[in-house]
Amino acid sequence: MEKILLIEDDPTVAEIIQEYIRKDGKYEVSWTDSSERALETAHQDFSLILLDIMLPGMDGMELCQRLRRTLYCPIVFISSLDDEQTIVKALQLGGDDYLVKPFGAAVLIAKIDALLRRMRNDFPALEPETQDGDLRISCQDHTVLTPFGQAYLSPTEFRLLQFLFNNRKRVLELEEIYQAIWERPSFGDVRTVPVHVCNLRKKIEQEPNRPRYLKTVKRIGYWFDDAPEE
């Protein structure tokens, strides 16, 4: 049975979320109420992390950033903050999804199911290590190595890079990307795609504002350019 780590400082909210997950019966859930303890336990073979933002001491944003240095499993932010700036920042720091409190059991379980299904049913795999120009992609530890350093990718970032790379030299529309990565229709809201592309550029591009690999086709989408630089 796959294990989920819940990081939430409110015991009442934590108990409700744990009950949602237990009643569904597909997952085990462990709970901690502090970022410091989460850092000690997060690498114990958890399949997914539910992470509150408003934690005492180190907040959820900083914790996510630290976990993403070495941790690959999906991270879902859970928060009562629902402004666009906060949501965008959470995704930019390595979150794979964002759930606004209060939420019901069905929505929570659907989010968890979808993320873990995407982890299990991935795209056709790249070679264990793939190189394109100065970019080296490792499927073994989900990192990218560039002339300016190594970066760990979140599951969503890695999936996005893999999809763009597998379809290089073809312009991918925003809706096509959204449906491939999130496995559901966007219903016209594809704003999360540019957020993740921007985050990915910061990790693989030497000049994110002048991308070498992830090119924008204005008002349409993106394409992966594997042509050598002139």
The whole-number pLDDT of residue 133 equals: 76
The answer to whether position 102 is within a domain reads yes
pLDDT at 15: 97
Domain boundary among 73, 103, 120: 120
**pLDDT at residue 77, rounded to an integer:** 96
In the chain, beta strands by DSSP E = 2-7, 27-32, 48-52, 75-79, 97-100, 129-132, 135-138, 143-146, 149-152, 172-173, 214-217, 221-224
Cβ neighbour number for residue 45 with a 10 Å cutoff: 8
> Is residue 91 domain-resident?
yes
Segment 192-220 mean pLDDT: 92
Q: Are residues 138 and 215 both part of a single domain?
A: yes
Q: Are residues 7 and 103 in the same domain?
A: yes
219 inside domain? yes
Report the CATH number that the domain containing residue 173 is assigned in CATH: 1.10.10.10
Residue 7 pLDDT exceeds 90: yes
* 110-163 pLDDT tens trace: 999 988 887 776 555 556 667 777 888 888 778 888 888 888 888 889 989 989
Total tally of structural domains belonging to the chain = 2
**Domain match, 44 and 6 both:** yes
Same-domain pairing of 19 and 85: yes
86 and 194 co-located in one domain: no
Q: What is the C-alpha to C-alpha distance for residues 230 and 167, in angstroms, rounded to an integer?
A: 22
Give the model's pLDDT for residue 92: 85
| Same domain, residue pair 40 and 142 | no
Question: Span 95-106, mean pLDDT?
Answer: 93
Query: Could you tell me if residue 230 is inside a domain?
Result: no
Residue 17, pLDDT score: 97
- Domain harbouring 107, CATH code: 3.40.50.2300
- CB-based contacts of 22: which residues, under 8 Å, 6+ apart? 29
CB within 8 Å of 121: residues ≥ 6 apart: none
The pLDDT tens digits for 71-99 are 888 999 999 999 989 998 998 888 999 99
Residue 194 in tokens = 């540019």
Domain that holds residue 171: 129-224
Within a domain: residue 106? yes
pLDDT digits (tens, 9 = 90+) for 50-74: 999 999 989 999 999 999 888 888 9
Q: The tokens 């700036």 sit on which residue?
A: 85
Based on the fold, state whether residues 7 and 67 are members of the same structural domain.
Answer: yes
Residue 98 counted as domain residue? yes
pTM of this structure: 0.73
Q: Decide the pairing of beta strands 143-146 and 135-138.
A: antiparallel
Domain limit, last residue, from 120, 141, 156: 120
11 & 107 share domain: yes
- 97 and 141 belong to one structural domain: no
Q: For residue 168, which amino acid is it?
A: R
- The answer on pLDDT for 220 being more than 60 is yes
Whether the pLDDT of residue 186 is over 90: the answer is: no
168, 106: one domain: no
Burial of residue 91 (CB within 10 Å: 0-12, 13-18, 19+) is buried
Q: Residues 102, 23: one domain?
A: yes
- Among residues of the chain, what percentage have pLDDT more than 90? 53
pLDDT of 189: 84
Residue 105 lies in a domain: yes
Q: What is the rounded distance in angstroms from the CA atom of residue 54 to the CA atom of residue 66? A: 16
| Shared domain check, 93 and 182 | no
Which of 120, 138, 163 is the last residue in one of the domains?
A: 120
Could you tell me if residue 16 is inside a domain?
A: yes
